[in-house]
Every structure is written in structure tokens, then in C-alpha cells.
A = this chain, B = another copy of it.
Amino acid sequence: MRLLFLGDVLGRAGRNAVCEALPDLRARLAADFVIVNGENAAGGFGITEVICQDLLDAGADVVTTGNHVWDQREALVFIGRQPRMLRPLNFPSGTPGLGAGLFRATNGADVLVLNVMGRVFMDALEDPFKMVEREITACPLKRGADAIFIDFHAEATSEKQALGAAFDGRVTAVIGTHTHVPTADARVLPGGTAYLTDAGMCGDYNSIIGMDKEEPVHRFLTRIPSGRFTPALGPATICGAFIEIDDATGLATSIVPVRDGAALGGKR
């Protein structure tokens, strides 16, 4: 089985790039299942119902989110009628929407997708380790699900690597999001779980984490906000990871970074 994940889609630049490239990318990779993190798809902050549908129409099977999930207030409502969008699992019980779901891939496999947030340097949600444990105990690999994918939306590399290590061998993949910078440590952990600290964003990298450089730089220099953050609108780079899964075990056999679009290259 073949699974494609794309990191935080940022604003119009990221959205357009993903919507244009995804049909082709999906076909080229012969992906059976596609997950896209859409938490910054609407102007950099949150996601609307229309944009969520656009990502699904372009070829995503599931849209995950993160700390920005509720930035567009309508998300609190439309998530109730859109089972293909997940919000972080570790919001308090009673929160609209779900943080986990079992979805059918095109090859007929059932993929359990978990969207979880870290707590180091982030908001105080429920324990991500405990929440993941609960979900995969209820629906274990090869007994309840043919593959288990975790989008771990977190800041600290330690917390991300610890979650990978804690569930190595029991889930197909742990891929980090949130920092908007792709890491170069994609690997299959000893137990068979594909791991990547951060997928990076889908957006314009000539920016500060996807935003126009001027305001963030100004804030660092002056410590005073002088306006809003607005998404950078230059050519976007699509970042993510492609995972091949052993159908017999549900574990990963390989993970490779996906990079498409404007150069993030080392040459001038």
C-alpha cells in the first residue's frame, strides 16, 4: 500500500499549488491514500468548508489540522458534517468533530488516521501519548486497521521523537507537522514505523514560516506588532512524505520526502 502525506498548506499560494499538483502527484506515485494538513489553508489561519472541500476534491482522502483549526469560526460547525476533516484528538471531550477516523483507501485497505497535538511549548491539551494509546488499543494494526497514520502536530523535536519511539512497531507512520520547515530525518524506525520530525509546509518558502517577511521581522526587531501577518504569495513548494507499507504487517518499508514546485535548493 502507498500513502502520501502533505504538510501544512499555507494560504492561497499553498492551496493553489496543492490543488494543481495533487491529482498528478497522486497518480504518479500511485498513492492509495492521501492525507493533507490544512490548518493554515485559509489566509494562513484555519480552514473554511469551501477550502476543505477543494483539498478533498483535489485528491486528499483526509484533511488534518492543528492548533489553528478553529481560527475560522465556521470550522466549529462544518466539522460536524465533514467526517473527512480531523481536529487534534486531544482537545477536551465535547469538542466538535473527531480526532481520529477509519477511512477506506482506494486499494480497499482501512486506514486509521490520528491527528494529535504536542504539549511542549504549546497549549495544554490532553496527553497525546495517552490519547494515541487509547485509539490504537481500540483499533490495533492489522486487527482493526490495515495502516495507522499519525499526524503529530508539535513544536519540540524531543516530543516528536519520543512519540515515534513510544509507538514504533505499533503504527505505520508518525509524521510531524507545525514548524513549517521540512526535516531531513525521514527514516523507518527499528520497529517498522515510518518517521519524519516535520513534513514542512506547502507554501512560499521565501517567507517567515509562510508569512510575508516584513511584519515578523519587524516584530522581532521592535517587539511591537505593527500589523497583521499575511501569507507570502510567491511560488509555493509542496512538502510531504511518501510511505510504502507492507500489506502483511501494516508497517512501513520505506519513507521518502516529497518535494515539488519552487526551489528550496542550495544554489543561488
| Complex: A180 Cα to B185 Cα, angstroms | 10
Q: Verify if A192 is at the interface (C-beta below 8 Å from B).
A: yes
Q: Given that A161-B208, A268-B192 are known contacts, is A200 also in contact with B185, CB under 8 Å in the complex?
A: yes
Q: Mark A219-241, 1 if CB is under 8 A from B, else 0.
A: 01111110000000000000000
**CB-nearest residue of chain B to A221:** B129
Q: Mark A102-115, 1 if CB is under 8 A from B, else 0.
A: 00000000000000
Cβ–Cβ < 8 Å partners of A70 in chain B: 224-225
Stretch from A10-18, A55-63, A91-99, A138-146 at the B interface: A91-99
Identify whether the interface residues of A are mostly helix, strand, loop, or mixed. loop
Interface size on A, residues (CB 8 A): 69
Within 8 A of B (CB), among A26-67: none
Q: Verify if A197 is at the interface (C-beta below 8 Å from B).
A: yes
- A76, A198, A224, A252: which has the most chain B beta carbons within 10 Å? A224
| Complex: A213 Cα to B190 Cα, angstroms | 12
